[in-house]
Amino acid sequence: MPKSFQKIVIVGQLEDPRVTEPRDLLIAHLDAAGLTVIPQQKIEDSDLVIAIGGDGTMLYASRLARKYGTPILGINRGRLGFLADVTPDEMITSVDQVLHGDYSVDSRLLLQARLFQKSGREQVAYALNDVVLQRRETGRMVDFETRVDGRYVNTHSGDGLIVATPTGSTAYALSCGGPIIEPHLDAIVVVPVCPHTLTDRPIVVAADRSIDVSLLERDETKAEITVDGFSMGSITPDDKLQISAANKRVTLVHPPGYDFYSILRSKLFWGRDSRNREM
């Protein structure tokens, strides 16, 4: 981790006015402070990535920063996001605190997804949130088998399977009934999507385990793999998907006062007495 941040990359959906305004303000502020804002194509030369947007922007920033280990600071301009924790009103103050060395770092687990195809081709992708097996172009369920470190776990029927990091435990996995996992834990959650059997429940495994998923041969079976929402391609019964912890991690930067539980309360409306609603 650098002691100071001199070269900064800013990422965000520039066509979105909610992003353009704070981005322009931030660039002017950084320029006045004598710092250099460089294009994202030169991210290998940067000391810090500032992502302005929601969790989708943070996931995009993580794909850029992963290779070089560049830390990321998130400015939240999305909706129900858990990754970008700085509000627009706090942006300049929080950025100044970080630039002056008043910050904490948060190392997040990454997943490596390897798709071994019958043809001999191997595809590799990385996920900060999740790797998802899902049915495609059909109303039929998919049937698949899971193994952990080569040990048989279950044969599933349903809409698919989510394999998520602690970071991703508050994303798609949460909507499918998975648990919330503290970000610092080295654990992986495996969550069935709309399982046919009610006893097919989410499980949490240690991050040093390898998870193998195989699609079973059924009529009109079509399924695909998505990694952090991006398609990795189709999977057939002759292929094998292997998911494990990557050897690199993503580093998030937080200004003073970062509190994971405070974010949960804010996003999930915890701690509010619903009996005393104002009409």
Please tell me whether residue 263 adopts helix, strand or coil conformation: helix
Measured N-to-C along each axis, helices 17-32 and 91-99 cross at an angle, to the nearest 10 degrees, of 40
Q: Which helix H or strand E contains 262, and what residues bound it?
A: helix 260-268
With H, G, I as helix, E, B as strand and everything else as coil, classify residue 92. Answer: helix
Q: Are 159 and 82 in contact (CB under 8 A)?
A: no
Phi/psi for 205 (5° steps) reads -125, 160
Contact 78, 84 (CB under 8 A): yes
Can you read off the two tokens belonging to residue 61? 């920033």
55 is catalytic: yes
Q: Which residues contact 170 (CB under 8 A, 6 or more apart)?
A: 82, 180, 264, 267
Q: Which of 24, 31, 55, 96 is catalytic?
A: 55
- The C-alpha atoms of residue 31 and residue 29 are separated, in whole angstroms, by 5
For residue 210, give every residue at least 6 positions away whose Cβ sits within 8 Å of its Cβ, in sequence order, or none.
Answer: 148, 149, 150, 242, 243, 244
Q: Are strands 72-76 and 48-53 parallel, antiparallel or unpaired?
A: parallel
| Positions marked catalytic | 55
